Structure 1
């Protein structure tokens, strides 16, 4: 499979994820054998020190010595995370994100995953109640962000990997924590798989086949959803759910799942998708439900679903703008205010009035162009501003006098004749990106 990868892709540069264990050691030496016959191949290695074992430094030193022996450039990088629950999962995420930062654009990342790893992953997915996507297991090759990752040993069993290591007198490190069956993967590896193999000798290969079938079905489903979702995505990347009650529940849920998959987060569970459908799609028209997903929330406004990053409220923030010739920076990356000739036209402050910015107001107001006072909530609704954005819009005050929601509306004086006499105005621009949820970085889950 390694030779197939080399011939399949034009790129001839490889970065090997080298832990020093038997799997990555076999992979490293197989690549060295191939390089002997193909000198144009470039090989680098990267070792991630998790710093959670007493022998971590010793293992790192072993990897350095092996790579020096075979003249392989090696990157060593230490990571640290709190020793809390789900440590295996959190280490995996941290490890891959770290590797990604060192992976060159023209390199392919190689890992030492084998057939037993695939089987363990499949059983873990069954334990979690995963669907076809989870049961797709480990892919032989796919993308890590916009870079390629391949697993050349995936069709080889652990026994075959061990046999090759012994036949070639390789040296590797043994992490004895891999025998601790308190970890789910180790329990499957040492307790379940031996029994299953003894009963059904072809169990591992059948797991591999099941993963391939699930992967192909998931790929086909995503191709169809990619076309279908175009009819439901709004210009602001929200999901139009206007007609969701008229289509089958299963299709609606898959569209929601696919829409969330575009947001660069770990996919939520089946139960969460079910909650989104039942509690948001099927809720009353005037309801304001929300579902929390990690550090984000799914909200409905009018006839669309919005994916919003949760932020600390700034509703109680109070800012003074003493020097209007300078920019006034707003909290929580909400942009800044600047006085210029292109901004929102409003009456200028009187002499000695304190210009201040707030982010919350309750009550009735009279805005320019209207004859009657209305609750500010109704004004926000009229301007189609969702509830989660209302407390991010800077509200301009002169002393305690409400003047304007900058960029949205201006307050009208109660006495219209008095308002007509106002001659001095100024213009304020609010430079912001609060409606942008896009991310320009890669994160592995």
Structure 2
């Protein structure tokens, strides 16, 4: 059924996502038959979602089948609250992150997705009002982070897999949670598709053909956008929107969507893309708009859009640095402060002054080298510090007196301190800012 698909891969190491259900069981036994003819390595991974009292029995079933067939099996568990919002999506994200971490270098992940799954995905995308990219559904082969995921059954129907399993007298698990039509996918599977197939017997195949057409249209669109986007992406991966005012909205939103697709996140809906265009790109010049997308934010600053990881608010945190000869660890993975000979030269505190670190300050300040006070907001702007990073920079205080924004400026004080000391900020700010995990 899938021998030709598997043979074409030069790399012959495969990890099977094995739930114990019909689809993954057929996949596992198909690979076992191929292994008898060709030199391939196969492993399996089973993830217990702990959503039912009999889930442990499913794990034992998978262990038994793998032991009989001498297949190395990885077993992992996920524990989340059953009332978790959007539980299907939450489990999917956790499941794929676990699998990714177990994949060996050059190993390919195989899943049992078939034509029925593709049709369900297509209809869920229709429900969400997706465009051609969303309606493309799943691809036969997809990059999985830096690795690869292959769905060899995508051109086969559930009925074909079941007939093969019965013919081979296979045993598999029936997941009764699939009968729960409170879940959208189950509702489509149990209530909608049977009616459509009864009326139009070729509905599944025609649905699959539509997803293929959408995939080809998306590939073609992305080909042209890939060439055009390089005129807009800047050195820091921000999107230059200065020329958007002279371009058609359709082109602008397509560029925004393609730019976000490069971030390895779940692409925002058509509605959200429109909101980015209307409410962020063309908001007031002096506004500081943002849109929150799960753990990330889209922000506009001057004539650019920025995609950043949301950081916890630390503007009200106060850290005392009592032992100045020891490093001071900063929150939010911002690194640490250390007294050494390589950093910023600062006036040394008096013995009776409390050295402390804060992350917010409002008001006018006079910095060294200037003869006039300015609002600290203007100093941030002058130093090209993005608004969302300003409350991530450690501000050094002696008692309640601001001394320095470390690495940026020192306050010019009338009563100069007699001695100096040198402080270094070993910062992970930039790397944290750009460290995007690929499966959100």
TM over 0.5: yes
Between the aligned partners of 1:357 and 1:437, the Cα distance in structure 2 is 21
Query: Is the CA contact 1:308–1:437 (under 8 Å) kept in the aligned structure 2?
Result: no
Q: For residues 441 and 36 of structure 1, do their structure 2 counterparts lie closer, same or farther at Cα, with a shift above 3 Å needed?
A: farther
* Deviation of the 1:329 alpha carbon: 1.8
SS of 1:191's equivalent? helix
Provide Cα deviations, 1:222-280, integer angstroms capped at 9, x if missing partner: 23222322222222222221212122211211222222222232221111111111111
* Deviation of the 1:346 alpha carbon: 2.5
* Correspondence 1:74 to 2:87: no
Match of 1:433 among 428, 431, 436: 428
Q: Counterpart of 2:399?
A: 399
* Deviation of the 1:437 alpha carbon: 4.5
* Deviation of the 1:119 alpha carbon: 1.0
Q: Where in structure 2 are the equivalents of 1:363-442 lying within 5 Å?
A: 363-414=363-414, 424-437=419-432, 442=437
SS of 1:243's equivalent? helix
SS of 1:170's equivalent? coil
Q: For residues 436 and 258 of structure 1, do their structure 2 counterparts lie closer, same or farther at Cα, with a shift above 3 Å needed?
A: farther
Q: Where in structure 2 are the equivalents of 1:43-442 lying within 5 Å?
A: 43-84=42-83, 85-414=85-414, 424-437=419-432, 442=437
Provide Cα deviations, 1:65-97, integer angstroms capped at 9, x if missing partner: 222222222222221111123222222222222
SS of 1:271's equivalent? helix
Which is worse superposed, 332-341 or 266-275? Answer: 332-341
Between the aligned partners of 1:124 and 1:7, the Cα distance in structure 2 is 33
* Deviation of the 1:432 alpha carbon: 1.1
Q: For residues 229 and 157 of structure 1, do their structure 2 counterparts lie closer, same or farther at Cα, with a shift above 3 Å needed?
A: same
SS of 2:306's equivalent? strand
Q: Counterpart of 1:17?
A: 17
Query: Is the CA contact 2:133–2:218 (under 8 Å) kept in the aligned structure 1?
Result: yes
Provide Cα deviations, 1:170-223, integer angstroms capped at 9, x if missing partner: 111212222222322222222222222222222111111111111122122223
Between the aligned partners of 1:9 and 1:144, the Cα distance in structure 2 is 16
Query: Is the CA contact 2:115–2:208 (under 8 Å) kept in the aligned structure 1?
Result: yes
Between the aligned partners of 1:274 and 1:69, the Cα distance in structure 2 is 54
Between the aligned partners of 1:358 and 1:77, the Cα distance in structure 2 is 42
Q: Point out where structure 1 has 5 or more consecutive residues left out of the alignment.
A: none
Between the aligned partners of 1:95 and 1:357, the Cα distance in structure 2 is 40
Q: For residues 97 and 350 of structure 1, do their structure 2 counterparts lie closer, same or farther at Cα, with a shift above 3 Å needed?
A: closer
Provide Cα deviations, 1:9-63, integer angstroms capped at 9, x if missing partner: 111121111111111111111122222222x111211211111122211221111
Q: For residues 54 and 182 of structure 1, do their structure 2 counterparts lie closer, same or farther at Cα, with a shift above 3 Å needed?
A: same
Query: Is the CA contact 2:264–2:436 (under 8 Å) kept in the aligned structure 1?
Result: no
Indicate the RMSD between aligned Cα atoms, in angstroms.
2.0
Q: For residues 441 and 259 of structure 1, do their structure 2 counterparts lie closer, same or farther at Cα, with a shift above 3 Å needed?
A: closer
Provide Cα deviations, 1:269-317, integer angstroms capped at 9, x if missing partner: 1111111111111111111211111122211111111222222222222
Q: Point out where structure 2 has 5 or more consecutive residues left out of the alignment.
A: none
SS of 1:298's equivalent? strand
Query: Is the CA contact 2:309–2:433 (under 8 Å) kept in the aligned structure 1?
Result: no
TM-score, normalised to structure 2, is: 0.94
Between the aligned partners of 2:16 and 2:75, the Cα distance in structure 1 is 12
Q: For residues 105 and 169 of structure 1, do their structure 2 counterparts lie closer, same or farther at Cα, with a shift above 3 Å needed?
A: same
TM-score, normalised to structure 1, is: 0.93
